[in-house]
Structure formats: C-alpha cells, structure tokens
Structure 1
C-alpha cells in the first residue's frame, strides 16, 4: 500500500514539474552580426519582458503554452513584432534590428509639399505622433497642442472660450491649419474648425515654424500645422477612445476601417463631445467653462487605380451648439438684454482630396472646399455669417540628376457674408458680400549637391482680386555630417496675409466694443530668417539624446494691430505706421533610456514687439518665455505607463480698459500640469485616468470686467464714446471678457478607455 501511495505522489510531483513550470523563450537581438545590448523585448498581452545583455541575449519566462507576439524596441531603431509559439520549435530566436535615425525619420510633406525623409528635408519640420498626444488626452486639437514647444493655444474670450493657435508668439490668423495638406481650417474655421477632428483617425501632426507662404499662400505667415490622417490601409479595423472628466465633460472618438468592394477602402470617424454642467468656481456669476454639444463625422475613401495612382477623397461635417454666460441663462434669453449669454450655433462641412492624373508624369490635382454657417448672439448683438471657400491646385514634380522640381498652379475663391459693417456698403444698408479670387503659381527646385548638402529655392506669385500682385520668395540650405547625427538648416523667406478681421477676432464680436477702421487695410508682409541645428547622441549604455535648437527673426511691414487701449469701448484697426518684430530662440530635447523612461522637453525665449513713432511696446497676450515637458515611464512587467506633462509661461501684457483700470497689467507666471496612468489589458484594451491642472491654477476672479453689469446699463459714456468715472464706476470700466490668457477651468480628474482591433 505504501508503494502505491509513493507512486501516486511521485506521479503528481512529476506532472506538476512538467505542466506547472514556466517555459523560457530565449533569443538574440543582432545588428548585422553583432549582439545589441539594452534592447527591450516585451510580450504585452502577458505583461512580461526582458532587456538584452551585452551579447544581445534575452530570456522571458512564459507560464503556459500558446502563440504570443514579441515586441522589440530600442531608441534609434525601428520597432518590430515577431510571433513566437510556446513551446518553441527552435532553441533560440534571432531578431535583426533595423536602424531608423533617432526613431523619428518619418516621411514628411509639409515643408516641401513633397514626400521626403524628415532627415533629408531642407525645411525644418517638427513631427508629433498620435502617441505623443495620448500622454494628455483632450477633446480637441486646440487643447492637444498645449505641450508643443513654441505653440500655444490662446483662449480669446472668458465667456465662450473660443481661441486660436499662436506659433512663436504670433496670433492665430498667422497660423495656417491644414488637413492632409489641404487648407481646410481657415477664416471662420480658425476659431471653430479645430474642434471635432476625430483624434482616433489622426496619424501625426507636422508643424513648420516660420513663413510658408511660398507654397501655401496667405495665412501661412507665422507657420503651419498639418494634421495628417491615417491611411485607409494602415488604420485599425476598429478603434474607440472615450473619457469623462470630473467636471462632466464626455468625449467619444470612433474609427472604423472597411472595404467597399475590391477597389475602395474606407475610413470612417465620429467624434462626439458633451458638456452641460454650468460651473462657477470663481464666483463672478459667469460659467467658468463654455457648455457644448458637438458631433462630427469624418469619411475618407481611397480608390485603387492602375499603376498605384492616387485617388483619395475625404469629407467632414461638424455641428456644435455652445454657450457661456451668466449662470441663470437659458436659450429663452438668447438675443435679449435681461440675462447675458453668448450662444453660438455652428454648422460646417468640408471636403478635400487628391487625384493623380493618368499620365507618365507625376501630376496631381488637389482640391478642397468648405462651407461654414454661423448663427450666434453675443448678449444682444447678433452675428450671422456664411463663408464658402473653394480651392484647387495642380502640381507637377520631376526628378532629374541633382534636381527635384515642383511646379504648381493654385486658385482659391473665398465668399464671406455677415450682418456687420464688414460686408455692407459705406453709409448704406446695402449688403455687399466679400468675394475674393486668389490665383497663384509657384516653383520650387531642390538641388542636392551631395548626400550631405542641399539647397532649396522657391518663389510664388499670387494675384489678389482686391490687393493686386504679391510675390513671395524663399531659400533653404541644409548640410549634414557624414554619420547624419548633426544637421544644420538655414532659411529665409517672405510671407503675406490678407486680413479679414471679422472672421478672426472674437473680441470684435462680443458686443462689448465697437469696431473702427481708420483706413482700408493693406496686406501684411513679413521677412523671416531662421537657423536650425539638430544633434543626435547615442551613448554606449543605450541612452539616446536628441537636441533641436532654432533661432528665428521675423520682420513685419503693414502689420495690422488691433488697438484696445485708445478707447476702452472700441477696437481700432489700422495698418501699423512702423514695424513689428518676432525674434527669439528655442530648444527641444528628447532623452530616452532603455529601461522605459523618456523625457521630451522644450523652451522658447522670444521678444514680440511693435514699434511706431519711435515707441516700442510688447505685443499683447504674448509671453517672453515658455516651457513644455512630457515625462513618461513604462513598467513593462505591469503593463503600466505613467505620463507627466505640463507647461509654464512667463507674464503676458494684458488688455486694460484705460488708465483707471486697477487690474494687473501683466499676467502672473503660471503652469498647467497633468498626470496620467495607463494600464494595458492585453493587446486590445487600455484603461487610463489621472488629474488635469494638478496645481489648480485659474486666472483672477475679476478677469471679466463689470461681470455684474454685462449690458453696461449703469455705465456713463461721453459723447466721444469714452467712459465717465462715477461713484458707482470709479475705474471707468465697461463689461469686457477679453482680459484673458488661459482657461478658467481648475483641477479635475478624468477616466477613459481605449479599444483597438487591428484585424
């Protein structure tokens, strides 16, 4: 009997040893014939991984048999995946690494309007992937850009929270926003079109700082932001990203890839945003955050053609109902003078695409069109506007020996009509919609002297139906070291902008001020010079350091500067009788360690000033110093990532309402910081959450002047429109929400979930 028990026990022990023990996955990571140390090898679905030793070898213990995906990554090399079956059929896996200069040498298009390697581009282009923005999830592109060096989302109104994007201190009208290279977001869309782009469909954003008018025409004076959507053949089969905040904001992104027959690939995206929770933490009886209900639908299709010729068409529709104002406002008060509210209904459609002509030459026709209808009230002041923009462009590229030539013709038609003085005949009630024709032609030649050195020459001629001929040249020079770890770029160029004040300046529409034009506005022109130096450092321990520094100088003539200070009840527009300058330097630094820690940081020091009649003044709402950072650490064994992001800004000059205004003339130093934890649940699910605005920073409670009297019923005015000080109004103030530099939204938690199905 004892022998029988002994045999049973022995059998159980052997079975446990055979079936209960883990199975090792052994492998070796090579670069050519040499083993590579400090490479991360990870099985995401199990949350286990290892780092290679000095011989490039690794071992991962797996508890149960199955088929798993190994993820192999190291800074400076292309990430890869490899299937492995446990138990393994071979004793050791061999994995080959492929170099990819700093891991960021993507194909870019924004700098030259042609697909080129980022490393080879003579124009400095900053690229930010979708993963970069996941470190601080936001419901709109406008907010997402808050951690990009030298780029600042500027809130322009304390009530309706509309805003624009500043690049190197230049206001939103100087920034062109493109979707897949097409000028979709402009005019009225500069304010409202940055919302509702489904971020689940965004592949990357390319940012060019400095004038790009030579290729893109008007509005690209300060720089451009090109939102690149995912290819229809590379997007996930299905993806969703949803989150909710402690304030009650709810955001949902959906993406679906499908095939319509054998030749048509489709990509569909939906974005929904809902916030209907009036909050007034600063006690001024106004909503701290604008309430909004938004729906956006995006559709992109790719049609397969012979010889892989391109034919892509996309479209988007967005509708938004937003309001901000006194806490007891509702739609019944819309347009009245009892309770103040700013209510905006926006309906907008867009379409764009590219068709490659069926010729032996590389000729492409690109097109875009958009319509924007706005129905809004700012208190009792109505603003009803319609805008239609049509754009077509034909480009021909040719590569011959050392030259890469781009020749293009473009035409842009802009129709704009509203119920303000901007589109009415002088001294008449007759309506006069603005109709602007802007044909142009451009030529660019990239001369490649060698693998290390190239020169780009370009020029553009436009004829504006209102302002006449405009010429914009540019030159770019690039030289790299033999190992491509050091690259120097020098550039000089010209930009121009034809202003349409009423589609760009929200302060002109609040009803709080009258708009005065001292003269017929002439096009602004600018000259820019820029130097950019990129240095990549690889250490023996596997640490990567990337440095990207720039100096910039932009000189403006005919600058259009709104004057808020001469008369506190007016905004006076005129071309500057003098000059304006934006100058400074910036530095980006990326550091990554093999163990999972990565740091991206940047700082910009600049001086943006206006000089007129020998007097130099700082531009309003422009900081001298700004800094951003994003710190991430991944715990591979736990499938957990921690992201800490933030920014810091130095004081900005703020628009006061006269000499008696007792509010500070400058904003304080301030910082918005966020923290997030992301947990992977297998290959498909992610759960994330954290806290935004950790320091709970908000502007002063008196940011809205005379919030208790939004219709100026108790303000006395002189015959010239100026305000008369009275015992009830000793500081001679009027209701004004333009004293604003950042949002009033304080600290709040957030929680979200992502699901991605690739096949």
Structure 2
C-alpha cells in the first residue's frame, strides 16, 4: 500500500512539475449582463475560442509566455488585454462597451483580407442587420438606399426590374459580389437585388468608386459585397411579414434560418429558406386608354387602365453553408442555394401572355454552389485560399404587346469562378506592418438567349427558334497588392491584370480579346486617434460584351427593344479619385461619427445607346462607343450620433453632378439631346432613427430623399386620356419616402424570444404624378419611390433576438 501511495504521489508531483500549460477561465460582460457567443482571439488569431451561452470561456496557455487576447462581439467595441500565463492568473474578465454606431465591423471588401473597418485604407460602408430590421427589409434591395452615394431605382413599370446606382453611375458600373466572388453575373443582376432575402445575409459591404478594382471588371461606380451568413453557434429564427397596399394588394413573406455547431467547434451548418408572394398593383385604375390603328390614331371606345405598376411576384429560396475545421490550420467551407422566381406584369394576368395587350413575364431558376479551402501556417502569418464557384440560370420569359405570339423566349446562363489567393503577413518593413496579397482568378460566363418558335395562324406553319445572343466570355486575371500600415500613415498599392476573350457565336465578327491593367493606390493618414484622412485613385474597365440589361427585352412604346453591338465596340475605361475625412469621437456617453467624402469619376469610350426603328417596326438599341466622356463628381456626407443606448440617429446625403462633356443623344436618331446623365438626381439621402422608450419597446423612423432629375418619355400610350405623341424630357419632382415602425420584444421561455412589429412605409404616399396607360406605353417611364403607402405587421421568434 505504501508503495502504491508513493507512486501516486510521484506521478502527481511529476505532472505538476512537467506541466507547461495553464488553463485560464474568462467571462465576458457588458455592464451587468453576460455576453453569449463572443469571439476570443489569441495573438492576432494564432488560436482562439468562443464564449458559451453564458459568456464564459476557457483557454490553455503556455506557462510563462505573454499573450494578447482580443474579445469581440457583434454590436460591441472589441477589447484587448495582455497577460502573462502564471499560476497567479487563473481568471480574466472582459467588460465590452456597446458599439452603438457599429463602427468596428470586420470587413473584407477593401483589400481582399479581413480587417476592422476603421483600419481600412478605403472608405467602406456596411449595411447591417440593424438597418434591415429598422426598415423592415425583406430583400437586399430594400436596405441599400441607406448607404451614402447609393440609390436603388425601379427601371421598368411592367416587370419591376431594379438597378443600383453608386455615386450616380448606372447599374452595370457596379460590381456585385456574393461572398467576394463575381458570380452575380449580368443575367442575374436585372432582378437579383429583389431575389436575395435578408434572412441569408450577414452584412453588405459597399465600397464607392474604383477602390475595389481587385475584384474585377465593372467596379467603376463601386463594389457591393453581399456576405452570406455562416454558422457560428446554435441558433434559430422564424418569422413572417405581411404588408398591404390599401388592403387591395398584399405582400406575404415567411422565412426561417437555423445554425448548428458541434461542441468542439470543428463543424457547423447554417440552413435558411424563405417564400414571398406579392400581388400586382395598379397605380391608376381610373385612367383611360384607347386601342390605336397602324397610323397611331385612337379607335374604339375608351378602356379602363388595368396595367400593373408593381408586378405579381412569387419568390422561393433555400440554401445552406457548411464548414469543417480539420485542425487549426485547415478549413473547408461549402455552400449550395437555389432561388426560384415567377414575376409577371402587364394586364390580364389570368390569361395566357399571348392573349393580353402587354405582358412581361419571367420564370427563373438559379442554382449555385461553391467550395472554399483555407490553409493557415502555424504562426497564422500565411493564409492560402482556393475557391471554386458555379452558377446556372434558366429563364423562361415573354415580352410582347398586342397579342404577339412571338414574345416567348428562353435564356440560359452558366458562370464559373475559380481562383487561388495568398495573404502574407510580412512583419515590419520600412517601419510599418506589411501585408501582401497575390492571386489568380478565372471567370467563365456564357449566355444563350433565343426567341421561341410558335405556330403561325396565317401561314399554318410552325416557326423556328430565333437566336438573339449566344455569347461566351473567359477572363484570366492576376492581381497583387501590398499594404504598409504605420502608426500615422498607411499606403496601399495594387493592380489587377485581366485578359478577356469574348466569343459571339451568332456574329463571329464581334469576337474580341481585351487585355486590361488597372492599378489602384490608397492612402490613409491618422491625423489624431479620432480623425483620419483617406485618399485614393483607381482605374477600371468594362469589356465590350452583351450584358443582362441588353438581354432584358424592354418594351417601349409597345415595341420590343433589342440591342445590337457595334462590331468596333471597344472597352470602356474609367479614372476615379476620392478624398475622405472622417471623425469618430466619444464625448462623455455620446458616440459620434462624421464623414465628408469628395469623389470624381471620368468614363472614356463609354457605351452609348441609340435607338432606331426598322421597317418591320422593331426598335433597335444600337450600342457603340461615344466620343463624349461622362463625368460624375460630388460630395458624400454622413453623420451618426448615439447619445445613449436608447437613441441613435444616422443620416447620409449626396450632392453631385452627373453630366456628359457634350450633349448626349438619348432617343432615336432624330431625337433631342441632353448633357445630363438621365435618371440621376443631383441630391439624395437617407435617415434612420431608433428610439427605445422602454427596455422591450423600439421605435424606428426611416426616410429616403430623392431630388429632382431628368427622365425620358418615349411616344406611346396615354396620359390623362391624351396620347403621348412626341419624345420629351421630364424634370421630376423631389420625393420624401418616410417610414415608421414600432416593435415589442419579450421572452417566451428560457431560450426563446418573440418580437412583434407593425408600421407604415411611405407614410405620405409619395409617388410620381404622371402614369402612362395603354398597351403601347413606355414601360421605362418610372421614377421616385418604388412602392406606395404600405401597412405591415411582422412576427419573429428566435433564441438570439
């Protein structure tokens, strides 16, 4: 027995002497409340863990070594502490302050690597969950209006297509990314912003100007990076939103999402789904229109307007994102999603499209998936990322007027993006921390569009399918970027080289090989700890190929508008400059943030659209290079103030000019010209205000201001019963689209919370004051707020609300 006790004592003593690990217990709070699921990072990400649902964590450290521990949580300012692992240190406490203005988000869109938004060399705006919640957003498009310099507009009164303008530039000038990958191709972008539910989105990062040129072509106006949710901890949420326009047109939306993570944090899965059903809406049912003969003269009795301003819409989506950590150095992530949408606008929605006066209908399915592999060196100073993304789109459609049998079409698109990227932490160089990014990327994009054959009643013959476009583009790119981060001055220099090969199988003379090199430089100077100055220059380009907006067969004056490319069409190029000053200061308990940003973008060899009527009545949009440059310049202003946890106010405003150097022809070959870039207001802005009168209650006020702008009106249709016979340029009124929401949150049980909300969108029912009636109307004559006054109620249940 004595021998056994001696051996046992020896083992314990040997273990205590030989052990080189010390277990540290930590707890994380904010005030008196513990924070669940906070992220704990040790030595700049060398290793780490997450807090449990009570805000506690444990980590093992080597005895005698010094460590830097950083704790961060969404909605809170991060806190960092240095400790030395000794027997006397067994517990460490972090008390985080609430980041009421959300200024410390981690972003990737500025330099293709994760970093705090405050540390980036370029100005980055983030659309977060809080903005989606305050504005009661259903889809991505609803939240983007609350970013300075950004404006979402409706571009078609029949089908309800939308477009995002950054710094006044049209939709094709913005590079939209999904998880940093350019799979949001031209075919998807026509309706895509309305197809992505916010239930799958973690945050949206917006970089204005060409400061994110490393992500590829089209990043002239800027880059919008939609970061989808990833599993972080066990959670769930289900909800519904029911909206109504005067009790006549309703919009129903239901969704769910859940996240499951293994106990050892090695494996996790996030699953989401949503369904939306919106009724069509007609703005002017009491207006009248007439059928017209071949000479354009009104004939027959007056007819009541029954044409939609908002199309009928049904959208369903489902998807998942899964990760597995093999160890601290290797991680694989995969995602798969499917979106299906059926939208229809025009009139006689219950009849077959070829029996109506006008119909724009699409039935679209989008399936996409990706695999990402990450490898980290043991010291976390080297990060290799390989990625592969594939997307397939199938779109059945009908675009036609006056019972046209040939309006049916089928469009398919395949997009593949694959690449390899290396992020290197090179340590100190020139007395500054140095980070180097290098990579290569391959993009394949194929679009096939055709008009479907039909049975010709007059001839008794079956017609053949007619190809509209069969185009393929392949892009091979390499990019490199170096960033020096000093205490005062940070310098970022990078460039991307693209080689684009375009094949047009219908018109081989349009085949092109387009090389392009686009550099960027960004500087950031810390004037004080609270004040920073940023400046940048970048070039950009758009390859001369068919884009989705071209394949979207718009109906103008009752005619199908088809695009034809000039055989000599060459790439557009751009030069962008920006200079920004921002100031972040906590005065007592009041958190404040202010930004002033000046921008200037010049576009050369820009794509110019000219309309021409053919003998058969088809309206051709002829795309060629213009000799007149386009110049957009102005100032973005932002202000954020949070006096307390009960109140925060955020406002953004843009003042700009958007003009051509010479007058631009905007109609057919005999039309008038304009120096203004059309559909672009010189002033616009947004406001959000959140007030919590009590712990369980929140009141949100949102507003979107759109200044006056010039909008073209093409011949066709009727306004106030009178025919629209001539082209004209309309100067619109300005609009203030205000919304209010009241919500109440309470617990249902130990791990369940319910939130009830109700409110009104577009309180003052701000809408354009003229609508065109009739089958021959100009469908693109839409401006101002997208939806009229709308009442809504919503319910959410989850464990993390």
- Normalised by the size of structure 1, how large is the TM-score? 0.79
Pair 1:505–1:655, CA change in 2 (3 A): farther
2:352 aligns with 333
1:458 aligns with 494
Contact 1:565 1:656 in 2 (8 A): no
Matching residue within 271, 274, 279 for 2:274:
271
Pair 1:132–1:245, CA change in 2 (3 A): same
2:656 aligns with 606
2:103 aligns with 104
**Counterpart Cα distance in 2 of 1:684 and 1:321:** 34
Cα offset for 1:307? 1.9
Cα offset for 1:745? 2.9
Contact 1:344 1:374 in 2 (8 A): yes
**Counterpart Cα distance in 2 of 1:344 and 1:681:** 42
Cα offset for 1:337? 5.1
Matching residue within 410, 413, 427 for 2:441:
410
Contact 1:156 1:507 in 2 (8 A): no
1:9 aligns with none
Contact 2:760 2:791 in 1 (8 A): yes
**Counterpart Cα distance in 1 of 2:685 and 2:612:** 29
Pair 1:99–1:195, CA change in 2 (3 A): closer
Contact 2:232 2:261 in 1 (8 A): no
SS at match of 2:273: strand
Contact 2:211 2:537 in 1 (8 A): no
2:49 aligns with none
Q: Does residue 380 of structure 2 align to residue 378 of structure 1?
A: no
1:657 aligns with 714
SS at match of 1:194: helix
**Counterpart Cα distance in 1 of 2:96 and 2:466:** 71
1:126 aligns with 125
**Counterpart Cα distance in 1 of 2:531 and 2:377:** 40
1:623 aligns with 681
SS at match of 1:504: helix
Matching residue within 257, 264, 270 for 1:255:
257
Matching residue within 442, 450, 471 for 2:517:
471
Q: Does residue 492 of structure 2 align to residue 494 of structure 1?
A: no
**Counterpart Cα distance in 1 of 2:393 and 2:315:** 15
SS at match of 1:735: coil
Pair 1:616–1:697, CA change in 2 (3 A): closer
Pair 1:79–1:122, CA change in 2 (3 A): closer
Q: Which moved more, 1:685-694 or 1:119-128?
A: 119-128
Contact 1:75 1:592 in 2 (8 A): no
Cα offset for 1:557? 0.7
Q: Does residue 483 of structure 2 align to residue 446 of structure 1?
A: yes
Matching residue within 373, 388, 393 for 1:355:
373
Per-residue CA distance 1:612-643 (angstroms, 9 max, x = gap): 37987011110100011001101234x11110
Matching residue within 313, 324, 327 for 1:292:
313
1:394 aligns with 420
SS at match of 2:710: coil
1:538 aligns with 586
**Counterpart Cα distance in 1 of 2:674 and 2:712:** 16
SS at match of 2:328: helix
Pair 1:139–1:613, CA change in 2 (3 A): closer
Contact 1:214 1:442 in 2 (8 A): no
Q: How does 1:501-520 map to 2 (within 5 A)?
A: 501-505=546-550, 508-510=553-555, 511-520=559-568
More strand by share: 2
Pair 1:274–1:675, CA change in 2 (3 A): same
- Normalised by the size of structure 2, how large is the TM-score? 0.75
Pair 1:344–1:596, CA change in 2 (3 A): same
**Counterpart Cα distance in 2 of 1:507 and 1:657:** 18
Cα offset for 1:699? 1.8
2:670 aligns with none
Q: Does residue 550 of structure 2 align to residue 551 of structure 1?
A: no
Cα offset for 1:377? 0.5
Cα offset for 1:441? 0.5
**Counterpart Cα distance in 2 of 1:641 and 1:312:** 37
Per-residue CA distance 1:177-227 (angstroms, 9 max, x = gap): 212212232211111222343422322111100115631111222111111
Cα offset for 1:538? 2.1
Unaligned runs of 5+ in 2: 1-29, 36-52, 57-71, 80-92, 287-304, 453-464, 502-511, 665-672, 716-723
SS at match of 2:118: coil
2:472 aligns with 435
Cα offset for 1:370? 0.7
Matching residue within 343, 349, 355 for 2:361:
343
**Counterpart Cα distance in 1 of 2:254 and 2:467:** 45
Q: Which moved more, 1:489-498 or 1:280-289?
A: 280-289
**Counterpart Cα distance in 2 of 1:439 and 1:182:** 14
Cα offset for 1:143? 2.1
2:765 aligns with 696
Pair 1:155–1:565, CA change in 2 (3 A): farther
Cα offset for 1:362? 2.0
SS at match of 1:654: strand
Q: Which moved more, 1:398-407 or 1:559-568?
A: 559-568
Q: Which moved more, 1:674-683 or 1:651-660?
A: 651-660
Pair 1:78–1:430, CA change in 2 (3 A): closer
Q: Which moved more, 1:566-575 or 1:312-321?
A: 566-575
SS at match of 1:602: strand
Cα offset for 1:357? 4.2
1:419 aligns with 450
**Counterpart Cα distance in 2 of 1:214 and 1:258:** 36
Cα offset for 1:662? 7.7
Q: Does residue 797 of structure 2 align to residue 755 of structure 1?
A: yes
Cα offset for 1:119? 1.4
Cα offset for 1:152? 0.9
SS at match of 1:419: strand
2:289 aligns with none
**Counterpart Cα distance in 1 of 2:798 and 2:98:** 28
Pair 1:648–1:183, CA change in 2 (3 A): same
Contact 1:239 1:254 in 2 (8 A): yes
Cα offset for 1:517? 3.9
Q: Does residue 598 of structure 2 align to residue 596 of structure 1?
A: no
1:316 aligns with 337
